Chains A and B, each alone.
Chain A
């Protein structure tokens, strides 16, 4: 480290942000790499490896930690069944927004992904489906033009192939750095969802913590069936914006998954441990025929 690096810390934050140096970000993993993790709800220490084995759900109080998109796919789809779409597609600074190029670079380094959503085709419980999983590690899952494009393409593919679609949402909303073009993604994705819906095909959304803004006001709320993980924050406006607008504190659990269930905007709150089974059941109830991967197991069951 040279001396100029030390003085950087004395500068205001926005000066720091202008720099191209990403070394500090690279060293910051999203999930604490320590052996122990403290649960933010029950405050108990949990072994990192135990937490991972438990699908990132606290074994003491069932708090659902945020989970990276790849790990979500791993615990949701049948092993080896995932075929990714448009993996290389990635955003550029389309309206020359200040600092966006650097933020994109950091987001890629931080998440190891090219965009805030992963899309593809997979089998869940043997049922073929198109799946999109948003990623909170990539600019808080914000929806830019590439996010919208990948989701739209996934729906268009599903419509053509007559497949259901499952989308796991997590998003802070539209990506401000792409200006009006990020807002247009709300209309674009909604158009693709409508065509898929008009074709009589099933769309399930799974809302995860947090799902807000332009994603809530578009494809997240357009599912035939809307599931949610327990305690997920779901809303149009974020709680801070509402508190600033109405100048009062919000009630506890306002905008939680359970609150939306009570108000009639979520079909079912499903714990992570039961998600795959629930999705499988719903797919089968809508005409999916599970393809048995392991024939020996099937024969064994019959004996």
Chain B
């Protein structure tokens, strides 16, 4: 599979989205919570509390939508500042009630528009990066599809970052890269190779801890082992004291 095939797979319309992961892993236990308490509820970000092995966990996800109607409704998974602020509000809540945070990332990037700029897209992302770095509870981020730049990183300053086999994570879209580099946005295949955005490349670069097997459909049994893995990881992270956890998180990003 070439890097560009990987990009295509990560963006495929029939790929399970965050809602599928939440439903398969947490079943009926998930209670969705809305709004950033400042401006609005951003539907590109889903957040709430669920139960994992009898223990509460805060779940935050970038959701692209599963059909055209949902995609339009969720702005194709491109969050506005209020989406990132909702995410941060729920993370702070998780910290207060000592429950771990699980993030699912699937976005082509933070939204680029007038409203997003007026309400401080850059500031919202920056605040998340800063606050997540010292959030006193374990954070695990899983890239399930696209991981577009700062808009993805704003949910990925975590103790561990995992990627689905065919997920991608990049500083810029291959199209954007091609148009800057060759003034030709159709050279996406070449750009995809250059950017080192596949899970294998990123594992080699030490940017992620784990590559997760792809569930091909929403009925896949892969979700079961994935759930087990998440539970084990939180148990491991919760075993260390807060100072150690935060020092490790700082050094995880300090090394780049």
Residues of chain A at the chain B interface (Cβ within 8 Å): 13-14, 95, 97-99, 145, 148, 152, 174, 176, 178-188, 190-195, 197-198, 213-214, 216-222, 235-237, 241-242, 245-246, 250-251, 254-255, 263-265
Contact = CB atoms under 8 A, between A and B. Distances in A.
Given A179-B196, A217-B122, A246-B114, A174 B171 contact: yes
Contact of A176 (B134, B172, B249): B172
A188 B253 contact: yes
Contacts of B181: 98-99, 176
Interface in B113-157: 113-114, 116-123, 125-127, 129-131, 133-134, 149-150, 153-154, 157
B150 A183 contact: yes
B212 interface: no
A176 B254 contact: no
Interface residues of B, number: 48
Contacts of B230: none
The interface residues of chain A, by DSSP majority, are classed as helix
Contact of A191 (B114, B196, B254): B254
B129 A152 contact: no
What 4 pairs across the A-B complex have the smallest Cβ distances? A216-B122, A237-B112, A190-B129, A184-B256
Among B110, B122, B169, find the residue whose CB has the most chain A CB atoms closer than 10 A. Answer: B122
B163 to A, nearest CB: 11
A265 B120 contact: yes
Contact of B114 (A98, A176, A192, A250): A250
B245 interface: no
Contacts of A14: 182-183
Contacts of A214: 149-150, 171
27 contacts: A98-B181, A98-B194, A176-B171, A176-B172, A176-B177, A176-B195, A178-B171, A179-B205, A180-B170, A183-B170, A187-B153, A188-B254, A190-B130, A192-B254, A194-B130, A214-B150, A216-B122, A216-B123, A218-B129, A221-B120, A221-B126, A236-B110, A237-B112, A237-B116, A237-B121, A245-B111, A246-B113
Interface of B: 110-114, 116-123, 125-127, 129-131, 133-134, 149-150, 153-154, 157, 169-172, 176-177, 180-183, 194-197, 202, 205, 207, 249-250, 253-254, 256
Contacts of B157: 187, 190-191
B122 A190 contact: no
A97 B123 CA distance: 30
A246 B169 CA distance: 24
Contacts of A218: 125-126, 129, 150
Nearest to B171: A183
